[in-house]
Structures are given as structure tokens and as C-alpha cells.
């Protein structure tokens, strides 16, 4: 007589080499995938996404695992903006080699475009858009050029 097997936790297969982005606020993993640029990665690599997973820290969270890829600092900064609670683990040979929280630097260059259409950084000037962090919780950044404050980042990712 065998009853139903006890519910198990995550069923995402471990990856050999790559990056695990954990503690993404539930619902934001698709945006994280956009930032990572899943269409650009190695076609033989697997990308797995877990949506709406129980989390002690957040209640509910999403997880993204990408094989054979490590994130550029620019991508990490973009993730830090939309999901400041996220953690990034670098996996090498099935082992977590490095694990850290995404860390928002004081200045963010080239990640966001200024939402002010009349800002000089949106004209044809040879400069990258640049923001300084005005507040960290919740994150608010300020354009170093026109001083417009931004607290919604998704529509403005460069």
C-alpha cells in the first residue's frame, strides 16, 4: 500500500557551471531574464526558471539558473535595481564558488535611460546615462544630468 509520496522541494536539476540568481521577488524573474538576455546565451546551455517558490526570507520568490554564463557587472547592477533582494551564486563544477547579494553601487552608468525626454542625456550627446542612488530602501535614483528622480526601473532599462 503506497500513499502519495511526500511533497518535495525544488525540482530544478543542478547545473555544472553557471549562475544562480536566487531571492528574486516573486513575479520578477521574467524581467531578470530580459536583463540577462536569454536569447544571447550559448544555445547548448539550459536556462531554468522557478516561479513562485516558498521562501523564508521573502514569503514567495523566483529563481533563475543559467548554465555556462557569468553576469557582467552592468547586468548585475540592472538586477540590483529591480530586485535588490536577489542573491547571485556562481557555480563551478556543481559547487557554489561564490555567493553574494546583488550590490547597488552609488553610481549607475549605462543601465537606465533617463525618463525625462528633455534631458540632455537623451539628446545626441556622447555621454552614457548616469544616475546616483538617492535612497536605498526602496531604491530611488537621481539622474546626474537633469536630477529627475526615478523609482520605477523596468520601463527605463537601457
Interface positions with another protein (CB under 8 A): 114, 116, 118-121, 123-127, 143-149
Of 74 and 148, which has the nearer Cβ to another protein?
148
Of 56 and 124, which has the nearer Cβ to another protein?
124
Peptide bond before 31: cis, by omega within 30 degrees of 0?
no
User: Minimal distance in Å, beta carbon 142 to another protein?
Assistant: 9
Neighbours of 66 (CB within 10 A): 24
Of 42 and 132, which has the nearer Cβ to another protein?
132
User: Minimal distance in Å, beta carbon 114 to another protein?
Assistant: 8
User: Minimal distance in Å, beta carbon 143 to another protein?
Assistant: 7
Of 34 and 148, which has the nearer Cβ to another protein?
148
User: Minimal distance in Å, beta carbon 9 to another protein?
Assistant: 43
Question: CA–CA separation, 116 vs 108, rounded Å?
Answer: 17
Q: What does the DSSP assignment read for 7-60?
A: P-S--PPP-SSEEEEEEEETT-HHHHHHHHTGGGS-TTS-EEEEEEEEETTTEE
Amino acid at each position: 500500500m503506497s500513499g502519495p509520496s511526500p511533497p518535495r522541494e525544488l525540482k530544478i536539476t543542478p547545473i555544472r557551471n553557471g549562475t544562480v540568481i536566487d531571492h528574486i521577488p516573486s513575479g520578477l524573474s521574467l524581467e531578470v531574464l530580459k536583463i540577462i538576455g536569454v536569447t544571447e546565451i550559448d544555445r547548448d546551455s539550459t536556462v531554468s526558471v522557478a516561479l513562485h517558490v516558498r521562501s523564508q526570507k521573502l514569503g514567495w520568490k523566483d529563481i533563475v539558473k543559467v548554465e555556462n554564463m557569468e553576469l557582467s557587472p552592468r547586468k548585475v547592477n540592472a538586477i540590483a535595481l529591480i530586485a535588490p533582494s536577489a542573491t547571485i551564486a556562481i557555480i563551478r563544477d556543481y559547487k557554489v564558488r561564490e555567493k553574494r547579494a546583488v550590490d547597488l553601487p552609488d553610481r549607475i552608468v549605462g543601465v537606465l535611460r533617463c525618463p525625462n525626454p528633455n534631458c540632455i542625456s537623451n539628446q545626441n550627446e556622447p555621454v552614457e546615462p548616469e544616475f546616483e542612488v538617492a535612497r536605498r530602501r526602496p531604491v530611488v535614483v537621481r539622474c546626474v544630468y537633469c536630477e529627475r528622480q526615478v523609482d520605477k526601473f523596468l520601463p527605463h532599462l537601457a
